[in-house]
Chain A
């Protein structure tokens, strides 16, 4: 199968410190890349470079063989990014937030109440985000994976403030995404239980 996401001799320098260099990644449909490493080892920097938010010092990121800087909006349409920040507005309700997410990306034909149910936020639709707990906000942030269509999911510590049941729920969602031919890149301090054949591990501290 051909690769979806590749990097070529990627390196990242921050404050005169080399975080990583000559990084070559090759991800095919149905694979998940787990980025590991100590705090400050460049996990978030790598993820931001893969999304196109930051630029690498050298090297390039390729999507289906083309550099992402050339693919542009067609690449962003394929990416769902869940970063450190939840990317949701506290003065909007859950439903309003999901509508915004859909408006900015490529919407899936899914009923939004159903989408909220999938992330265990059923009946919270009209609640303001400001009234939600940290874990609930995180689940709402992750709901962008349900309401928009994207092949590549990039997630930075997606399990922060989630309980065990929610973690298991999202892991099942990840597996389903991989089965559908998607690709996932994520960092996590939690253990992930996935079939080994699909998992690519990358340790930035080594």
Chain B
């Protein structure tokens, strides 16, 4: 029998990780819960003044999304590292970057996509101008995959360390900042009726850059961590 083609292997691993995600859904609900909680706490702490909340809502939503994404990063490779399936993945006959991309995609589908679904509700709660909803969703759609992709490099580098958590945050946060700036700014300008085209194009550029480079970097980092 021949080995699976590259795309078959990609889909196989993606499906496996989604299945595992579904079976561990309580664990994966954490980032979503965190996202919702942080945003709900803001009106309580800052006061329910509509103009103020509406003004800072793009920032609140995006900071919460960024932290929620960072919180879930470790799960990309942790269990595979501990039970030895990561080792077997590196010894697979398929190119590791493709397998890494499958894992990161699955991870985004279970942790990033839910944020996209609850974001409109939270935006409404904060009183974000309706004209900015589309752009908000678009920034989350373009931005959170970038966070997952960049984060996977950091996780791969720190997976072998016993207490990699702090180093991981220090490693990936600086790389998250550009995404935060452009995404929040896009929502911000569109809420006052200006065109956010430039920021969206920047986010798209980040996404394509991360899509093409990060799996390769992650695969190399995993090899380093496992040796």
A residues adjacent to B (C-beta < 8 A): 48, 51-55, 73-74, 76-77, 79, 81, 83-92, 96, 99-101, 103-109, 149
Contacts and interface: CB of A to CB of B under 8 A. Distances in A.
Interface in B73-126: 79, 82-85, 87-95
Nearest to A150: B93
Q: Is the interface of A mostly helix, strand, loop or mixed?
A: loop
Interface residues on B, range: 20 to 34
Interface of B: 1-4, 8-9, 12-13, 16, 19-20, 23-24, 79, 82-85, 87-95, 223, 226-227
Contacts of B223: 53
Chain B contact surface mostly? helix
B227 to A, nearest CB: 4
Given A48-B227, A85-B83, A92-B16, A105 B93 contact: yes
Nearest to A79: B91
A103 B12 CA distance: 7
Contacts of A103: 4, 8-9, 12-13
Contacts of A48: 227
A111 to B, nearest CB: 12
Given A91-B24, A105-B93, A54 B227 contact: yes
Given A84-B84, A86-B83, A105 B92 contact: yes
Given A100-B12, A105-B92, A87 B87 contact: yes
Given A48-B227, A91-B23, A81 B87 contact: yes
Contact of B94 (A73, A84, A109): A73
Given A52-B91, A103-B9, A106-B1, A87 B84 contact: yes
A109 B83 contact: no
Contacts of B82: 85
A76 B87 contact: no
A19 to B, nearest CB: 14
